[in-house]
Amino acid sequence: MAYLDIRVDQAILLFLLLLAVYFSTILAGRLIFSPLVKFPGPRLAATSFLYEFYYDFICRGRYEFKIEDLHDKYGPIIRINPDELHIRDPEFHSQIYVNSGVRKSSRPASHRNATPSRESTATTLDHDHHRQRRKALEPYFSKNMVTKLEPEIQRIVKRLHERLWQHKGSPTPINLFEVYGAVASDVVTAYCFGSSWGSLEKDNYDADTSHVHMFFTKLMPIFRLFPSLLTLSLAIPEWMIKDPGVVQMQRYRHRVEKQVADVRRATSLKKAGGAGKGITGHTTIFHELLERSTLPPSELADHRLTDEAITLVGAGLVTTAQTLAFVSFYLLNQPEALAKLQNALEPLMVSYPAKTPTWTQLEAVPYLNAVVLEGLRMHGVARRIARIFPDEDLKYKEWTIPAGTAIGMSASALHDYERIFPEPHFFIPDRWLEGDVHLKRKYWVPFGRGSRACIGISLAYVELYHVIAAVFRPNGLKMKLFETNESDVKYEHDFLFPSPKEDSKGIRVLIS
């Protein structure tokens, strides 16, 4: 028995020794032999991903702010984790976020690991694979195709107008993120699947669908570090789950899976109302992909299309809803800006909703255009989205960034650039009506830039213009902020999107 005890002790010691050797090897690789050793930054960040995890998860989305502090200390280029560099230099942004003709751009695996849609176009790592998938989607997000969808968007926005009127005189405030989330959800699901989810028709505006995305983005840091936890959380039976947010994540995925299966069934049975037509009669993305796409069969498998749909719906919902909610706050909080907008809209919106202007007509209203640009400048995607150039080194000043290195820049480096945008933390639409607007657009990147820029720019635009015009038209709805102030829009946390304090109840209004 003593012999066995000794052997157990030896086994434990051997295990601990091997563990020490393993971690020592990793540390040596990161601190001594890594090609990134020469770049400045805190040694803790270079040593372990736990440094980033601490600020992003434990401190609740504060790593972007810590990165700013590190730049102040170490300079314009820093190492922010064992594998990634970050640059704060607005003039260099165009060298990182480039088109395919300049150089191939891949993404780090950590980006894909953090998402529930790992086979979507947006999360595809390899440049060529991403290009194949994106090419199949691009026709449906062109300005010409979105314009064909405009009558459906106008119908949904008119329904929003009717629903808001139903709240007139009610003492109960409404949450604008939830309301606008319902609009965005109905638009993107109608376009993806041929029939909308009818979020606007629900008493609570299908708030769970809007909030499940925000819930998930808060968990991304832990899934980025431990990707198997995400796989497990989506696979375990619902009855075993105690967290209601995780339950909603599962239900949301099942909902999308069913929608994709319904589209496939309708397509195979030729019951979609004609080639590529959905229930609404307009072209729809997933009917078209299944009927006309030249992608190989593996790219059209149910799980792949489900991942694609989750990304398209999520991105189309949250960014649009949040921008609309925050713009609404600024307009209601700045009566002079609202008055300017209403004066500018009066010629086009005087007969609304009997007569509805087109997106092209709304784009031509300078002050409305300025409101949209300024809202997107202040509340686009916050998080840096790193690029990897697999085939060539990148030169930045005296630094040579080795091929295969993840490198990124936060949009705030451009949007808060005081030389271009004085008083960057204030909502000032007039800045887009004076000075060199072309130069300002160079530093305006709410949708990203390059070969991996947001594919849904045109769809977002048409929603933003139509909703803002309908909600804030002269002689229309009278909204008043309810227990809402600057702290409910101030950027405090990076949960992929710039988010306010966590105890914010949202942008709430009363309608009179």
Measured CA to CA, the distance from residue 71 to residue 482 in angstroms comes to: 39
- Provide the b/e sequence for 280-311 (b: ≥16 CB within 10 Å): bebbbbbbbbbeeeebeeebbeeebbbbbbbb
Residue-level pLDDT at 442? 97
Residue-level pLDDT at 270? 61
- Amino acid 191 reads Y
The reply to whether 454 sits in an annotated binding site is yes
Residue-level pLDDT at 282? 61
DSSP symbol at 172: S
Mean pLDDT along residues 413-426: 96
Assign 462 a pLDDT band (cuts: 50, 70, 90).
Answer: very high
Residue-level pLDDT at 410? 96
Mean pLDDT along residues 104-127: 94
- pLDDT > 90 in the chain, percent: 83
Assign 313 a pLDDT band (cuts: 50, 70, 90).
Answer: very high
The residues, ordered by sequence, that sit 6+ positions from 200 with a Cβ below 8 Å of its Cβ are 156, 159, 160, 163, 182, 183, 186
Please name which of 111, 112, 110, 106 lies closest in space to residue 130, comparing C-alpha atoms: 106
Assign 486 a pLDDT band (cuts: 50, 70, 90).
Answer: very high
Mean pLDDT along residues 495-500: 92
Write out the two tokens for 233.
């959380």
Residue bearing the bigger pLDDT, 1 or 27: 27
The residues, ordered by sequence, that sit 6+ positions from 281 with a Cβ below 8 Å of its Cβ are 273
Residue 383 has pLDDT above 80, yes or no: no
Please name which of 489, 450, 490 lies closest in space to residue 176, comparing C-alpha atoms: 489
Please name which of 249, 288, 258 lies closest in space to residue 272, comparing C-alpha atoms: 288
In the chain, % helix, strand, coil (3-state, to 5) comes to 60, 10, 35
Write out the two tokens for 263.
């589209």
Mean pLDDT of the chain: 93
Q: CB atoms < 10 A from the CB of 170, how many? A: 11
Measured CA to CA, the distance from residue 295 to residue 45 in angstroms comes to: 41
Break the chain into its structural domains and give their ranges: 83-511
Residue-level pLDDT at 259? 95
Instruction: Give the distance, in angstroms, between the CA of residue 511 and the centroid of all CA atoms in the same chain.
Output: 29
Measured CA to CA, the distance from residue 309 to residue 290 in angstroms comes to: 13
Residues 53-93: pLDDT tens digits? 999 999 999 999 999 999 999 999 999 999 999 999 999 99
Residue 186 has pLDDT above 80, yes or no: yes
Q: Report the alpha-carbon angle 307-309-313, nearest 5.
A: 125
Residues 192-218: pLDDT tens digits? 999 999 999 999 999 999 999 999 999
Please name which of 508, 422, 448, 415 lies closest in space to residue 175, comparing C-alpha atoms: 508
Backbone angle region of 437, left / alpha / beta, with phi > 0 → left and psi within -120 to 50 → alpha: alpha
Q: 């489900």: which residue's tokens?
A: 306
Compute, in degrees rounded to 10, the torsion defined by CA atoms 359, 362, 368, 369: 60
On whether the 83-511 domain is CATH 1.10.630.10, my answer is: yes
Residues 237-283: pLDDT tens digits? 888 888 888 999 999 999 999 999 999 998 887 654 554 444 455 67
